[in-house]
Chain A
């Protein structure tokens, strides 16, 4: 135990470890806040779909040899997020089918383009890094950290400022509309925030594991708490703790960062599930 603490103390002296923890915790916080809304709106899988869209956009940006691929990736992801959230309403293709369709299509096109127009000799490495995050979170520059912090603050601020309206739109959109809430506008806000969080979170856990950051904390909190506010707060706390613990475990034990964080989230869910059973049993 002392050896592990010594190791952690040594690793803490490295700036990229501190950056990883700061950004990881902030991304986890943002994704968990959105997670409650997305799970309740039955859009749990939108994170996965959008991350695949981002993967496809990233492949296009790499082929175009853009020095800064973020604008293109973010713009494409935001457009798709808006389309997906709107597709749930009055369209021939249902929301979940639309997510699946865009998700696999983007993934396939992205991978095909990377193979047809390779930008480096290590295609499998590039794909692996994008899909699983690899050590991206440990290789962030100070500029990326600063921007992640600013974006996270804006996301949290937006959530706090519009908490009541997001709550209304989440639970009963028709009722929210009836009482004069501009549901379209707030759905648009949610879509944009989701896209930003997804693009940021790709550094942390990669495309394939993003959904876990969105879903697990919310589902864990829902095992124990029953009201929106309590679930949101609990979800945020669980997500932040799991992300921090996952990053620390991965750097000490040498396991992949993304999958370690998701594994910790899964353990958290099991614990909350058991706790929920116990509490439920006692209350009954």
Chain B
């Protein structure tokens, strides 16, 4: 019996030490540097280090792969009129509860490859941060979790138009993409359309 108990104790220890915390490193979304999935706006955006200016970036991005700007606007308007999930949107975070939204955004950070090319629609607070090193302002939509102490954010690049003021409630729809910079992989919603 002692042997059995000892074996079970050893098994418990071995299994536990085997790597319960083996979580993959999340892609650096609006965050640049922190491995934590819980980030404030400042945490998310403070370490931004992109080289391209906003206008420059907007000019070089492709449109949503298969539709024109006019069609995109039309689809979004239809969706807004229906008050539900927008047609052509693959991941609509605006219809989910705050707990689910936070978890899904976290999932996007950990499994970014699964979302590349997908159209994501999300609603949250607009935030921006200026990085002196690149002389660039970065924009993100931040979503707080149910406990309101943690936040997840995704950077976005508007296809056209002006960026909203910080802390404005906004809905952003754009195509998810990954990009490398300074040896790090980041993600953002490109060619985004914003609804205030």
Contact = CB atoms under 8 A, between A and B. Distances in A.
B99 A138 contact: yes
Contacts of B13: 74, 78, 192
Given A68-B21, A144-B23, A250 B99 contact: yes
B24 A70 contact: no
A207 interface: no
Contacts of B1: 182
A143 B22 contact: yes
Contacts of A96: none
A126 B104 contact: no
Interface residues of B, number: 46
A151 B38 contact: no
Interface string B13-34: 1011111111110000000001
B34 A144 contact: no
Contact of A122 (B9, B39, B103): B39
Interface in A156-204: 157-158, 161-162, 182, 185-186, 188-189, 192-193, 196, 199-200
Contacts of A254: 97-100, 146
A112 interface: no
Contact of A68 (B11, B12, B19, B104): B19
A70 to B, nearest CB: 4
Interface in A79-128: 119-122, 124-126, 128
Secondary structure class of chain A's binding surface, majority of residues: helix
Interface stretch (B69-77, B147-155, B179-187, B188-196): B147-155
A150 B13 CA distance: 12
Given A135-B145, A138-B99, A144-B20, A121 B42 contact: yes
Nearest to A258: B147
B8 interface: yes
A71 interface: yes
A154 B12 contact: yes
Contacts of B24: 141
Given A74-B20, A134-B38, 13 more contacts: A11-B96, A68-B21, A71-B16, A120-B35, A120-B43, A129-B149, A135-B150, A141-B24, A147-B19, A150-B15, A254-B97, A254-B100, A255-B146
Q: Which 9 A-B pairs have the closest CB atoms?
A: A254-B97, A128-B149, A121-B43, A138-B103, A70-B21, A125-B38, A254-B98, A70-B20, A125-B150
Interface of B: 1-2, 4-5, 8-9, 11-13, 15-24, 34-40, 42-43, 46, 96-100, 102-104, 106-107, 110, 145-147, 149-151
